[in-house]
Structure 1
Amino acid sequence: MSATVTGRSREIPYRLGGPLQRRTLLVLAAGTILSGFGVGASLSVGALLLAEVSGNDAISGLASTTFSVGAAAASLPLARLAERRGRRPALVTGNLIAMVGALVAILSTVVGQWWLLGIGIAMIGVASSVQLLSRFAAADLAAPGKRARDLSLVVWSITVGAVIGPLLIGPGEVVGHAIGVTPLAGVFVFAFVAQILAALSNWLGLRPDPLLTAREILSREPDPEPAGATEPVGAATVPEPAFEPGTEPATATDARSEASRRRALIVTIFVIAMAQAIMVGLMAMTPLHLMHHEGTAEIVGITLSLHIAGMYALSPVFGSLAGRLGCVPVIMIGWAITLLAVALAYISGSSHLLVQVALTLVGVGWGAVTVAGAALLTELTTIADRPRWQGRSDTFMSASGAVAGALSGVGFAFGDFGILALFAGGLLALGAVASIRLGLGDRSCRLH
């Protein structure tokens, strides 16, 4: 598949999976790495700073909540902007909002207002929405059958910035002292600079825009049919109709196929959201749990770095497996890993080592579910309705994390880390049952 984009002096051919896609992946990876510095660093100190400024441990849970609220609130508007104008302006807008959020967070510690800090963290949370949007942008120009792999490569790039981010707590304290603010707030200076660089990378590098170019290519040659119309194994295969969203299906069979696809999309979004809620619910209270058991800021940073490494480091592996085995088997692998993590979290007690192992495995399980889930969501959609469904997924995913973060703070205040593990186990059961429902529909990441 190829299209021709007219340049100033010559015509440049583009095709799915060609050189433009490889360059796009590099640019998205660079922007995602830079954005990850801010996200990882801000999450590391958010809960500790809220507890310090407010004087209330229960409020500390709002750090992950407000972060997730910011990501959820931005997901649909950024998706709509991408749908109208392309991925590049959407990504850059998100980076700039997060940049302002870093400034607001620093100011909040100067004036001593925890609610203002919450607003700043929420604005920084938009950077997480940008990361989610970037992974979908990686699939715009991907060749059919390679979307899971290409998507996972950008997800993997989050590892670099996200792992280093929490390790900036120590240097951030030095910066905080130097500029005369609360020491921990110095981390937000790194977030500010990182978002500026990410915005520049995306603005200068994503030319031509991947989504707009993909539409141009597919306007000449239709998008492969979504994988959502397949029936359970052993049943007759019903192809997905090629009609635009909002128009009436031509036949009753088409209507059933479209209804089946929509149900699969909704269940996929729910599965991704459950993985997010488990991850945020346990991660949100880890800093305070460790500090209550003779932990230090450095131990917190190392633990969160291991957790974030688990989330992203194996993404290419899961992307490759999704392309070979199918999405649902990889999702089920993720749930099995998460189950082990929840069990370790429940028995961890005061052991820093068990907490670190549990948080790392939570990240690995989350990575398997979300990479395969995002790939499945992409395969279930056409280029016309893809940004809309991706925005809905990111919104529900972030909102689920926000709710889980808020409830985890309350649960931790009245219980302990074991209570949070039990809560996570309940969410895991819901996600696994929904995944089995997807498996009965034989949803695959592979186009045949």
Structure 2
Amino acid sequence: MTVAPTPTVDLAQVQRRTLRVLVAAQAFSGAGLAAGVTVGALLAQDMLDSTSLAGLPGALATGGSALAAVAVGRISQARGRGPGLVAGYLTGALGSVGVIAAAVAGNPALMFFALFVYGAGTSTNLQARYAGADLAGPAHRARAVSTVLVATTLGGVVGPNLTAPTGELAHALGIPHLAGPFLLAAVAYAMAAIVLAVWLRPDPLLLARTLDAERAAEAPDDPGRPATRRRGAGVLVGVLVMVLTQFVMVAIMTMTPVHMDQHGHGTAAAGLVIAIHIGAMYLPSPVTGRLVDRYGRHAIAAVSGLTLLAAGIVAAIAPADSVAQLAFALALLGVGWNLGLVTGTAIIADAVPLATRARTQGVVDLAVALAGAAGGTASGLVVAAVGYPLLAIGGGILALAIMPAVLVARGAPR
């Protein structure tokens, strides 16, 4: 599928329209991804009566997002961003319905499978950031990515704070209380799919590919094109930054509601902490985008590692009865993740040519999702063995591995 050349196309206007549509879709989908984060671990703990497996829902959802990342990338490569994102969000909605059915039936196996399918929504929410960068110039790519990411804040913050009301609605409908947020997720993902299917026109990736082909035909020997070797190195650095930030963030985030539940905090308190965390994951995006475009990808990647270390330290020393300190720790965790994601995404967008961009980005997000799955799985085992504080401080220290990678990348010849 291709886009016919349009000599009179106003690229700036098309980019503004693309960002508006993506922002609207992300506002809906943010509420969908918040459900699994807020109550997924608690639902598993309730059904299995085991803390050691409480990290499994997060791992399964992240594993499902890994598979979906590749699928969405391949669909986008072949047919454009719109069809890929729509397919991903509809799959996430289907998984949300499956979780509700599993909770009603009291079937853990069905719940785990449905959470795996539900993870497609999370992956699609992240893949949308690439669509924002397709038509952006190199000097504005990070800001375009950040505009799409910040839109997730609305749904991501509202969603966890609706944990109690949606739980009450679920109870009134004869559904277990903890499955309530997945009612919201099913509707939210479906609405995001509808917005994209109706209004994401022209498709940003297909248009960018057409314009790039026209430029290549006019200047086939352009010396400004990046060398293949540099592109490969850029992909590796971008992947490393995003993989480490995802692993650390998911590990600490997944077990925080369980840690709070063990110390007498209710779902409303856990929902508030997660809402603050998700807000911190996305709300700083406009500032992050400007910082990345102004000061460079590698400098902000290093700041990401230091911020995640600070988050781990604060979470480790926070008194178990202090919701405020845990909220502050999770806010730092979200900011550190945001810095790493925007930086890594900009590095990947700089390094990968349009001809293979969507497919490569899908594989990159596969690695990121697998890192999240590993973090979610390990988190429950670590907490069961040595406790939440050691999980938090260990994650913060691991994040420092970003530093040597970016230092080497900054010193490499261009």
State the TM-score, normalized to the length of structure 2. Answer: 0.94
* SS of structure 1 residue aligned to 2:410: helix
Aligned mates of 1:281, 1:78 — CA distance in 2: 25
If each structure's helix is expressed as a fraction of its own residues, which one has the higher value? 2
- The one of 191, 208, 214 aligned to 1:214: 208
What whole-Å deviation, never above 9, does each CA across 1:211-252 have from its counterpart, x for those lacking one? 1111111111139x9xxxxxxxxxxxxx6757xxxxxxxxxx
Query: 1:43-58 alignment to 2 at 5 Å?
Result: 43-58=37-52
Residue 90 of structure 2: aligned partner: 96
* Residue 442 to residue 339, structure 1, CA distance change in 2 (3 Å): farther
Query: 1:172-187 alignment to 2 at 5 Å?
Result: 172-187=166-181
- The one of 200, 204, 221 aligned to 2:194: 200
* Greater C-alpha radius of gyration: 1
* SS of structure 1 residue aligned to 2:138: coil
Q: 1:144 Cα deviation (Å)? A: 3.5
Aligned mates of 1:219, 1:259 — CA distance in 2: 21
Name structure 1 gaps, 5 residues minimum: 226-238, 243-256, 444-448
Aligned pair 1:419/2:390, yes or no? yes
Residue 71 of structure 2: aligned partner: 77
- Across the two proteins, how many residue pairs are aligned to each other? 410
- The one of 319, 323, 333 aligned to 1:362: 333
* 136-145 vs 301-310, greater mean Cα deviation: 136-145
Q: 1:105 Cα deviation (Å)? A: 0.2
* SS of structure 1 residue aligned to 2:355: coil
- The one of 299, 309, 327 aligned to 2:279: 309
Aligned pair 1:21/2:10, yes or no? no
Residue 109 of structure 1: aligned partner: 103
- The one of 232, 237, 241 aligned to 1:267: 237
Aligned 8 A contact 2:157 2:278 in 1 = yes
Aligned pair 1:278/2:245, yes or no? no
Aligned 8 A contact 1:98 1:123 in 2 = yes
* One-letter code aligned to 2:273: T
Q: 1:260 Cα deviation (Å)? A: 3.6
* Residue 123 to residue 154, structure 1, CA distance change in 2 (3 Å): same
Aligned mates of 1:15, 1:145 — CA distance in 2: 19
* SS of structure 2 residue aligned to 1:146: helix
Aligned mates of 2:53, 2:14 — CA distance in 1: 46
Aligned mates of 1:14, 1:171 — CA distance in 2: 47
Aligned 8 A contact 1:172 1:187 in 2 = yes
Name structure 2 gaps, 5 residues minimum: none
Aligned pair 1:136/2:107, yes or no? no
Residue 230 of structure 1: aligned partner: none
Residue 65 of structure 1: aligned partner: 59
Aligned mates of 2:75, 2:81 — CA distance in 1: 8
State the TM-score, normalized to the length of structure 1. Answer: 0.87
* One-letter code aligned to 2:126: L
Aligned mates of 1:211, 1:359 — CA distance in 2: 34
Q: 1:140 Cα deviation (Å)? A: 0.8
Aligned mates of 2:169, 2:360 — CA distance in 1: 41
Aligned pair 1:407/2:401, yes or no? no
Identity %: 34
Q: 1:200 Cα deviation (Å)? A: 0.5
What whole-Å deviation, never above 9, does each CA across 1:258-305 have from its counterpart, x for those lacking one? 234312311220111000001001001000101111211111000001
Aligned pair 1:396/2:367, yes or no? yes
* One-letter code aligned to 1:208: P
* 191-200 vs 348-357, greater mean Cα deviation: 348-357
Aligned mates of 1:329, 1:14 — CA distance in 2: 36
* Residue 384 to residue 275, structure 1, CA distance change in 2 (3 Å): same
Aligned 8 A contact 1:331 1:369 in 2 = yes
* SS of structure 2 residue aligned to 1:181: coil
* Residue 80 to residue 170, structure 1, CA distance change in 2 (3 Å): same
Q: 1:12 Cα deviation (Å)? A: 7.4
Aligned mates of 1:96, 1:61 — CA distance in 2: 25
Q: 1:385 Cα deviation (Å)? A: 2.1
* Residue 414 to residue 144, structure 1, CA distance change in 2 (3 Å): closer
Q: 1:5 Cα deviation (Å)? A: 4.7
